Amino acid sequence: MTANDNSVNIRAPKGGYHHGDLRVALIATGLKKLEESSAESLSLREIAREIGVSATAIYRHFPDKDSLLSALAAEGLAQLAREQKAAGKAGGKEGFTEMGRAYVRFAMNNPALFRLIYSSLPAAADPNCVNPEDSPGWLLRQSIANLAGPKASDAQRKAGVLRAWALVHGLAMLILSGQIAPKDIDQLINEVVSVDSLKLG
């Protein structure tokens, strides 16, 4: 990385990294690597070299590759939630539909990270989430509850959550696996992801 490079310089400062700084740098570099290759090819030693620290320094924060991957997946989940929240700011059916479209587009724009999120994190990773911005699941459940209305039963709300998630996740995975290769991905997403297909509200 040159001095004139416009990207963020995360090389170790003269006095070394503070405890939290190195963890942030490791996650940022790991996310950058996922833009270029798969999670399987991620190397802790390569990340250490790029940042300019020893492999030993990494192990103080992440004892193994799986622990780093879990941290990357958690950060990816938070990014997805923030993008969905921004997309759904209009609220109502329109906002909910845009949240679904944002989910699929996130997968298209971050295929390796998206796959990592749902292969690395345990099921229902966010049931006790405090910050909604960190939880796509929390946003989904709240949106379904609002659209379904107060008369909907718990079973109806749960079914609505599963239908909505299955729709956007299934579409994302079909596109990522090459099972669907339309000329206009945006048009396909707009046509398929619609709250009207979920029988809500």
Q: pLDDT digits over 93-146, tens only?
A: 999 999 999 999 999 999 999 999 988 776 655 655 656 667 898 899 999 999
Band (pLDDT 50/70/90 cuts) for residue 4 is very low
The reply to whether 159 falls in a domain is: yes
> Considering the chain, what is the average pLDDT of its residues?
83
- Which pLDDT value is given to residue 175? 93
Q: Tokens 């599963």 belong to which residue?
A: 162
Q: Tokens 């006095």 belong to which residue?
A: 15
What's this model's pTM, rounded to 2 decimal places? 0.82
- Domain termination site, one of 29, 44, 63: 63
Mean pLDDT, to the nearest integer, of 46-74? Answer: 90
CA pair distance 201, 1, nearest whole angstrom:
53
The reply to whether 135 falls in a domain is: yes
Same domain, 127 and 193: yes
Q: Taking 90 as the threshold, does the pLDDT of residue 83 lie above it?
A: yes
The reply to whether 13 falls in a domain is: no
Contact 72, 30 (CB under 8 A): yes
- Domain termination site, one of 9, 31, 63: 63
What tokens does 13 get?
A: 């400062």
The reply to whether 12 falls in a domain is: no
Band (pLDDT 50/70/90 cuts) for residue 28 is very high
- Which pLDDT value is given to residue 196? 66
| Spacing of C-alpha 132 from chain mean position | 14
Same domain, 79 and 57: no
Same domain, 101 and 59: no
Range of the domain at 142: 68-198
Which residues have CB under 8 Å from 12's CB, separation 6+? 51, 52, 53
Q: Look at the chain and report how many structural domains it folds into.
A: 2
